[in-house]
Amino acid sequence: MDGNGRWAEARGQIRIKGHQAGAQAVRSIIEAAMRHGISILTLYAFSSENWKRPATEVKALMQLLGTALKEHARELNEHQVRMRVVGDHSALSPALQRSIAAVEELTANNTGMILNIAINYGARPELLQAVRTLAAEVAAGRLDPGQISEGELTQRLYVPDDVDLLIRTGGEFRLSNFLLWQCAYAEIYVSPVLWPDFDEAELIKALRFYAGRERRFGMISAQVQAQQCAKDD
């Protein structure tokens, strides 16, 4: 979700106003994603590198996250959304950690869309903690190094799901440490639209782009088509 700062600056407003507008966009995109049958939506809200921003902006972002979690918990629950906050919680304030635990617990048994909010998330720290966990299991004699497969590593990530479609707003062509392992075969859609302006119509453009992609996973086109025919039969 990129472009909040530029959105505000273009209006002569402080960056925090952009983050507030961005929070509104989050709400409408969650609703739109549910309407369009998305099964897992992961929103990159705050990266492990975002702590480097000015302290006032970090504070405002943390407040906004806390308020949003509390405000929307009940409604998300009513919509059967299962919410998970992914990333390293330990650096977050105790109050925010409590809000996260509450909403995760409230929605844990829901059966609708999985909503991952990445807070203090970075793909490299995520991979590091997974590797450390594996190493500890090996050291304890519970796991043989030969058993370490892609699946075993994936299970120890914060997000154990492959990304099908990666949407980056704000026109930047980079991954910024987002789900590096899970994006191995992601289709990448870069939108020039700044996040506060990203609405359902923009989401539909991204979904149309995705629908038009041929996902070959290393195979050739004829093989993919043969697989598709077999499935349709």
Q: Are strands 114-121 and 40-47 parallel, antiparallel or unpaired?
A: parallel
Binding mask 58-77 for ligand IPE (x = CB under 6 A): ---x----------------
State yes or no: residue 2 binds ligand IPE (CB under 6 A). Answer: yes
Options 2-10, 85-93, 121-129, 179-187: segment touching ligand IPE (CB under 6 A):
2-10
> How, if at all, do strands 187-190 and 165-168 pair?
parallel
Q: Please confirm, yes or no, whether 50 is among the known catalytic residues.
A: yes
Minimum Å distance from CB 228 to ligand IPE?
A: 38
C-alpha–C-alpha distance, residues 14 and 9, integer Å: 6
Q: Does 126 bind ligand IPE (CB under 6 A)?
A: no
Instruction: Decide if 120 contacts 88 (C-beta within 8 A).
Output: yes
**Using CB under 6 A, which of 1, 38, 113, 115 touches ligand IPE?**
1
Strand, coil or helix: 44: strand
Piece in contact with ligand IPE (CB under 6 A), picked from 1-9, 66-74, 91-99, 183-191: 1-9
For 89, which DSSP code? G
**Angle at CA of residue 68, ends 118 and 96, nearest 5°:** 65
Distance CA 201, CA 55 (A): 34
2 is catalytic: yes
Residue number, 87 or 170, with CB nearest to ligand IPE? 170
| Contact residues: ligand IPE, CB under 6 A | 1-6, 19, 22, 46, 50, 61, 170, 195
Give the catalytic positions in this structure: 2, 50
